[in-house]
Chains A and B, each alone.
Chain A
Amino acid sequence: MAVLTLPAPARTNVVTDVGHVWWRETLTILRDPFSLIFSLLQPLVFLGLFGPLLSGLAGNGELFGGSSLQWFLPGVVVMITMFGTSMTGSTLQFEIMTGAFERILATPLSRSALMIGRALKELTPLVVQAAIITLVAIPFGFVLYPLHVLVGLLILGVFGVGVGALSYALAIAARKSEWIFWAVQQALLFPLLILSGMMLPLETGPGWMQVVSKFNPLTYIVDAERVLFAGSFGDVTILRGLVAALVTAAIGLWVGIRSIRRATL
């Protein structure tokens, strides 16, 4: 019998792990770029069809404190973030069923990297989407503050990691039946979006809606994005948004790691 010495295992850390998981997920886009092109259409449709209705509704903008486009565009960016990251678990669910998830769990990848990497993949097209709708909106009177938008995207990124991790945990919880994942995702997504004042301002809504919106973390994100897209830094709203993003990310990762550890596939 030949003497066997185990190869010295290579070192890894969370950051490179995140990079690897992100890259594997991103390969699905690179190998099939049509999906990206298609996903770019969605925010444009919202902006092009919903935006004009809003500006008509508001008698050209008093309700929105200026241009309705300036008010609505950050909302669309938040919306595509929510759509994308809340679906993080759906590709995972497919891989739980086929078996790839188990194979990846058996590698030394850190558990938080599994979730962060996947959520970042959903955020990757977002950067392209945001850039395109912003560029398209400029001729229609949208004023671009690049640095502010960048900070806004960073806050959204942190928030998106949290939403992605929660979606990841949901996929594990609903691993036995696909429809439960979609039922819960849809049941949560739209109330959260509407109650954040993302599509229509809540100021004109009934009092209870305004109260409920105060308990919705997404409200603080949307408010912060609006302030940033309007080109302002000196507002406590931004800080509130950042805190909401960090808290969401922390809770999401905690719940996600717990569900990975407890999963008995």
Chain B
Amino acid sequence: MIHTESLARTFTVGKERIEAVRGIDLDVAEGELVAFLGPNGAGKSTTLRMLTSLLPPTSGSASVAGIDVLARPAEVRRRIGYIGQKDGAGHNYRVWDELLMQGRFYGMSKADAAESGEELLRTLDLDALRMRKVSSLSGGQKRRLDIALGLIHAPGLLFLDEPSTGMDPQNRANLWEHIMRIREQRVTTIVLTTHYLDEADAMAERVVIIDHGTIIADDTAETLKAKQAGDRLTVVVRPADAAAARTLLGTEGSELSERPDDDGTALSIRVDAASHAMPGVLARLRDAGVDVVAAAARRPTLDDVFLNLTGRSLREGES
């Protein structure tokens, strides 16, 4: 469905050259749900804009839905849906007018556009708002209308750029419910960008981590977490016990790390199935005369993966 080779884009701002995307090789198959995850400015949106023909690449090539993006951009646009970061619907228009016009822009007949529009209004809980002016809709309603606009022509491939940025958790959950339902009904390949870790973790079947304009990891969230981070077991001990605990933990797991804690020292190791390993480790610590103040077993998050790969946390950049 998507194939790129060394896709790159450079911007010139004043005298400075900014390499926003530096050579992306990517293949996406039919039916996949892929999330581009990375901090702001990593090159996610720039990549998306090149794939949707909105931005010509500086070098490299991309084919989307079997069509060369550079050679036949209009043909690519015909076959895809794109939902950008900002409001897709014109603020001065009525909901229904915008939906119908969007269908017409894709060459649909009036009847086909109306039929598809009716269905989308129902699916996305927008039915009661059809005669409302777009500027009077709430943020969540506008976002759902954007989804409807992106799907009016039933594209086989849908691009979503930061679909839930700025939404409260409830609206985000609601939006995802809609996206998933539509995916079931209209079998669609979906490529989205996000800087929300939990969103990529929970929704995407495949996570492509992008940083500084290149892909630094590409796999299912589960595999990434297992390979790149793994479960961690953390115990807090008094400073006097730290040396003994350190020695014992060194034999229990790997990647021993240490940080000061209010109650003494927090020691952390990477260990498989941490919650199952914990009782045994705690018992052996007590046998060694170590007084454990607190203990925790933690499943890795995608942030741990990102931290492991880049040495930085994704959360730091979150606004």
Contact = CB atoms under 8 A, between A and B. Distances in A.
A45 interface: no
B102 interface: yes
A100 B87 contact: yes
Q: Do most interface residues of chain B lie in helix, strand or loop, or is the interface mixed? A: loop
A54 to B, nearest CB: 38
Contacts of B97: 24, 27, 31
A98 B86 contact: yes
Q: Do most interface residues of chain A lie in helix, strand or loop, or is the interface mixed? A: loop
Contacts of B84: 99, 102-103, 106
A98 B156 contact: no
Contacts of B90: 24, 95, 98, 100
Contact of B79 (A6, A28, A103, A104): A6
A265 B84 CA distance: 12
Interface stretch (B105-113, B165-173, B258-266): B105-113
Contacts of A95: 90
Interface string A233-265: 000000000000000000000000000010011
A1 interface: yes
A56 interface: no
Nearest to A32: B92
A182 B138 CA distance: 30
B74 interface: yes
Interface stretch (A8-16, A165-173, A217-225): A8-16
B92 A104 contact: no
B156 A31 contact: no
Contacts of A99: 84-88
A110 B105 CA distance: 10
B102 A4 contact: no
Interface in B48-105: 52-56, 65, 74-75, 77-80, 82-94, 97, 101-102, 104-105
A31 B94 contact: yes
Contact of A4 (B31, B78, B89): B31
A190 interface: no
Nearest to B154: A7
Interface residues of A, number: 37
A9 B55 CA distance: 22
B156 A5 contact: yes
B37 to A, nearest CB: 22
Contact of B187 (A4, A102, A107): A4
Interface in A46-70: none
A144 B72 CA distance: 50
B79 A9 contact: yes
Contacts of B83: 103
A264 B20 CA distance: 13
A106 to B, nearest CB: 4
A10 B107 contact: yes
A10 B106 contact: yes
A109 interface: yes
A108 B77 contact: yes
A6 B87 contact: no
Contacts of B85: 99
Contacts of A98: 86-87, 90-91
A20 interface: yes
Of B89, B106, B107, the most chain A CB neighbours within 10 A belong to B107
A176 B55 CA distance: 18
A138 interface: no
A88 to B, nearest CB: 15
A64 B97 CA distance: 48
A108 B104 CA distance: 10
Of B65, B75, B105, B155, the most chain A CB neighbours within 10 A belong to B105
Q: Ordered nearest first, which 4 A-B pairs have the shortest CB separation?
A: A99-B86, A10-B107, A103-B88, A9-B78
Interface of A: 1-7, 9-12, 16-17, 20, 23-24, 27-28, 31, 91, 94-95, 98-100, 102-110, 261, 264-265
18 contacts: A2-B187, A4-B31, A6-B79, A6-B157, A10-B153, A23-B101, A24-B97, A27-B94, A27-B97, A31-B94, A98-B90, A100-B87, A100-B88, A106-B80, A107-B105, A108-B105, A108-B107, A265-B54
